[in-house]
Structure 1
Amino acid sequence: MSARILIFDSGVGGLSVWQAIHSRMPELQPFYLMDNEAQPYGELADDYLVKRAVALISDAVAQCAPAMVVVACNSASTLVLPELRAKLEIPVVGVVPAIKPAALQSKNKHIGILATPGTVARAYTQALIDEFAADCQISRLGSSELVLMAEQKLAGQAPSLPLLRQLLSSWAGIEGPDTIVLGCTHFPLLASEIQQALPQVCCIDSGDAIARRVEALFQDASIDAGPTEVPSTLWFTKRSESLGAQWAAFSAAGLVESQEIKSRH
């Protein structure tokens, strides 16, 4: 009997985290909640984001009774985890920008942090820099445009390399960072294109670290697998043409049904 896990993100970015988890624990049954009505999360007011995300996740948990929740969104993880953990009785795992491994790997001690505008500006991100990368030069770039580019890629629209090069132009050349933290779960979906735009850099994301954490929690805890008749479901907050085009990617990830869920905020 496979245990259920709920992946939450504002859009398709959580698929990159689920892929890493699935590679380590293929027996898990996935459920996915995407708040595509309110994306990009990096542009929402903090209080509104917390209330909205906690309400949506709580409603989805009530419907599928997962053994664990993964908040596969950096913008949400930097804000909602304390309130969500206080509300739920199951483990909640969040994602954080992979600043520590980037600092250990960088040769020129120049790290680029590529995330949403909210994540790059948050005190949480600065605390990670202060703790793990105080000896590094840090360049930050907050982009909602790349979030939309990743969403469009999964809908079948090829990313524009000229536009990507333009967006990342300040990091090009030998004086730019040699290591880039992909601080939004959407951005690993663009890793190959980012590598083409900046061939000198190494991209690091949090997917493997989150997968290891999930695996450790399942090994340490007594997990209630729950009823087997609940079908793996994608919940979304807005019906759209792009969602229909993205369904193949969600289906390939193991989701068999889709259903609209209304936000209470």
Structure 2
Amino acid sequence: MNKATKLPTILVFDSGVGGLTVYHEIKQLLPNNHYFYCLDNAFFPYSEKTEQQIIDRTLLICRKLVEQYPIDLVVIACNTASTVVLPTLRQHLPSHISIVGTVPAIKPAAKISQTKHIGLLATKGTVKRAYTEALIKAYATDCQVEKIGTTELVELAENKLRGDSVDLGKLRNIIKPWIELKQLDTVIWGCTHFPLLENELKLCLPQVKYFVDSGKAVAKRVKFLLEEKAYPTTAEMNHNQQNLIFATAAIGNIFGFNNMMQRYGFSELKYLD
């Protein structure tokens, strides 16, 4: 199969399962491509790690996968990582591999907000990054921007996707500073895990009209880059390759995880050394 007819292989990477929200948007737009998903659960959560640790770890894992498999495009489906790792990946991975990051959707949130009072709900790392502050200064100077940085919410989302119920009391405690902010009409999901808690967050923040994330924008960027390289984005032939999911440590709650794999269309779980 030559390049003109080859369906591209896309690697979606995150510290946990939150990046599946981005993968879902890409797969909806490009359903016939070949997908790998990798979660670095041995190092989860990234929000508790230093910037250099995140850079080193992400490069190490992406290099391993790129050396073993013919990957055409890498999506870093993690805001915490994307705010620091993209230049390093573009420098050290083969030049033919496109790199797409996921960063807080501050620009569209500032545009859509009617009250100009918006909230950034993200990890501790993303909230304090200079990259994030630069986005706010560039696109949201006319807005009042509230910030909550949390690791607990990431863990609640991970557990929910594996089949556990969400503790609404704990969730409300995390977002307590926003509950009485009546003018807060827009919230940015600054972590790919948080759309997994959409229903629960809407219950806790009924005044918020808009919840904004980067998933659809990332999917459109992936489609654009593949078309630019002349890869087909729709299949005219059967594609027999299996979509695989990789982990860096043993997976707990196997029953729930297997259900999740089936739901997202993955045929096999593999472990990276």
Range of TM-score over shorter length: over 0.9
**Which residue in the other structure is 2:186 paired with?**
179
In the TM superposition, residue 242 of structure 1 has moved relative to its aligned partner by 3.2
Three-state SS of the structure 2 residue aligned to 1:124 is helix
**Which residue in the other structure is 1:155 paired with?**
162
**Which residue in the other structure is 1:142 paired with?**
149
**Which residue in the other structure is 1:8 paired with?**
13
In the TM superposition, residue 185 of structure 1 has moved relative to its aligned partner by 0.3
Tell me the amino acid that sits aligned with residue 70 of structure 1: V
1:101-134 per-residue CA deviation (whole Å, 9 max, x = no partner) reads 0000111111110000000000000000000001
Three-state SS of the structure 2 residue aligned to 1:241 is coil
**Which residue in the other structure is 1:261 paired with?**
272
In the TM superposition, residue 176 of structure 1 has moved relative to its aligned partner by 5.0
196, 211, 228: which one aligns with 2:219:
211
Superposed, which structure 2 residues align to 1:99-110 within 5 Å?
99-110=106-117
What's the TM-score once normalised by structure 1's chain length? Answer: 0.93
230, 241, 256: which one aligns with 1:222:
230
2: CA distance, partners of 1:192 / 1:257? 29
Q: Is the Cα–Cα contact under 8 Å of residues 7 and 231 in structure 2 kept in the other structure?
A: no
In the TM superposition, residue 243 of structure 1 has moved relative to its aligned partner by 5.2
Three-state SS of the structure 2 residue aligned to 1:258 is strand
What's the TM-score once normalised by structure 2's chain length? Answer: 0.91
Three-state SS of the structure 2 residue aligned to 1:70 is strand
Q: Is the Cα–Cα contact under 8 Å of residues 110 and 140 in structure 2 kept in the other structure?
A: yes
1:43-77 per-residue CA deviation (whole Å, 9 max, x = no partner) reads 10111110111010111122221211100000110
In the TM superposition, residue 40 of structure 1 has moved relative to its aligned partner by 1.0
**Which residue in the other structure is 1:73 paired with?**
78
Residue 174 and residue 50 in structure 1: after superposition, are their counterparts in 2 closer, same or farther (change >3 A)? closer
1: CA distance, partners of 2:254 / 2:224? 33
How many matched pairs? 260
1: CA distance, partners of 2:14 / 2:255? 17
Two-structure CA RMSD over aligned residues (Å):
1.7
1:81-105 per-residue CA deviation (whole Å, 9 max, x = no partner) reads 0010112221010001000000001
**Within the alignment, does 1:48 sit opposite 2:53 as a pair?**
yes
Q: Is the Cα–Cα contact under 8 Å of residues 233 and 258 in structure 1 kept in the other structure?
A: yes
Structure 1 runs, 4 residues or longer, greater than 6 Å off: none
In structure 2, list runs of 5 or more residues that go unmatched: 1-5, 234-238
2: CA distance, partners of 1:191 / 1:119? 19
**Within the alignment, does 1:23 sit opposite 2:28 as a pair?**
yes
Three-state SS of the structure 1 residue aligned to 2:109 is helix
1:194-247 per-residue CA deviation (whole Å, 9 max, x = no partner) reads 11110111211000100110111111113499xx66532211011032355222
Residue 244 and residue 124 in structure 1: after superposition, are their counterparts in 2 closer, same or farther (change >3 A)? farther
Residue 238 and residue 35 in structure 1: after superposition, are their counterparts in 2 closer, same or farther (change >3 A)? same
Q: Is the Cα–Cα contact under 8 Å of residues 64 and 230 in structure 1 kept in the other structure?
A: no
